[in-house]
């Protein structure tokens, strides 16, 4: 751990401890269905801490960025790890293919939707969108990874690309995972398709019609929500 990483970790821990609320900590743990410890610090208060880290702990380069994120991620409380993800997001020039190893580690370690979805959409998804040719083979491998959360990430990484979405790859990923019984995969398929339907409703409608028997009821229902409120264009 570098001096800056150590200082960053100590700062975040001290700030969260000062705001700790044991009653809220219990409620947050129950809501997230995890035994991991919480301080009981809600998102708005954490955001203030994270904004301060952006000014006080600016990473000098890619390695510094990765060390700083990892220093926060290794801390034991869940809010400290939330701060790791938030800190990673606020330095976009370092959200590059070089950081995918780190994001993958966080996905595998976190293994729950509150961690994985933020990382998948806002970190991995950003890398995928901005460095598509370089990251395409990685996302392809992740779509078939033994770890369910990595597979979910491969699907959710397509979100928010709008007109830049690789529709052929998105549809392929959805079909490759369509037979899975896992709720979080079926939900991800529906979410990804629903989001893309806001950009190209006709393509999604055609895909859903053609593949209705291959999609779970959950995936189909989620994917159809926006289409049900709009006319096909």
Q: In sequence order, what DSSP letters do the residues of 30-85 get, joined into one string?
A: HHHT--S------HHHHHHHHHHHHHH---SSHHHHHHHHHHHHTSSSHHHHHHHH
Q: What's the CATH number of domain 1-94, 3.30.590.20, 2.10.109.10, 1.25.10.90, 3.40.50.720?
A: 1.25.10.90
Q: Where are the domains of the chain?
A: 1-94, 95-233
CB within 8 Å of 181: residues ≥ 6 apart: none
Q: Are 178 and 211 in contact (CB under 8 A)?
A: yes
- Mean pLDDT score of the chain: 96
What is the fold, at CATH topology level, of the domain defined by 95-233?
A: 1.25.10
User: What is the average pLDDT across 213-233?
Assistant: 87
- State the Rg of the chain over Cα: 19
Q: Does position 232 have pLDDT exceeding 70, yes or no?
A: no
Nearest in space to 140 (alpha carbons), one of 126, 123, 122, 158: 158
Closest of 200, 194, 106 to residue 153, by C-alpha: 106
pLDDT band at residue 231 using 50, 70 and 90 as cut-offs: low
More confident residue, 141 or 228: 141
Asked if 1-94 and 95-233 have one fold, the answer is yes
Q: What integer pLDDT is reported at residue 233 of this predicted model?
A: 44
Q: How many whole angstroms separate alpha carbon 224 and alpha carbon 233?
A: 15
């Amino acid at each position: 751990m570098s001096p800056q990483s150590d200082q960053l970790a100590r700062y975040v821990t001290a700030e969260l401890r000062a705001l700790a609320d044991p009653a809220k900590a219990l409620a947050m743990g129950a809501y997230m269905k995890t035994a991991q410890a919480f301080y009981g610090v809600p998102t708005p208060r954490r955001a203030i801490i994270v904004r301060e880290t952006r000014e006080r702990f600016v990473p000098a380069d890619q390695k510094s960025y990765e060390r700083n994120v990892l220093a926060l991620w290794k801390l034991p409380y869940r809010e400290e790890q939330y701060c790791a993800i938030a800190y990673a997001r606020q330095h976009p020039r370092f959200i590059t293919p070089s950081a995918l190893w780190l994001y993958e580690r966080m996905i595998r370690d976190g293994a729950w939707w509150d961690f994985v979805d933020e990382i998948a959409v806002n970190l991995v998804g950003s890398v995928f969108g901005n460095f598509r040719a370089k990251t395409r083979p990685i996302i392809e491998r992740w779509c078939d990874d033994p770890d369910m959360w990595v597979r979910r990430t491969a699907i959710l990484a397509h979100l928010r690309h709008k007109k830049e979405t690789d529709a052929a790859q998105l549809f392929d990923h959805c079909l490759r995972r369509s037979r899975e019984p896992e709720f979080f995969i079926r939900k991800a398929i529906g979410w990804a398709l629903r989001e893309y339907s806001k950009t190209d409703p006709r393509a999604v409608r055609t895909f859903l019609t053609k593949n209705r028997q291959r999609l779970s009821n959950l995936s189909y229902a989620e994917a159809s929500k926006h289409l049900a409120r709009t006319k096909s264009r």
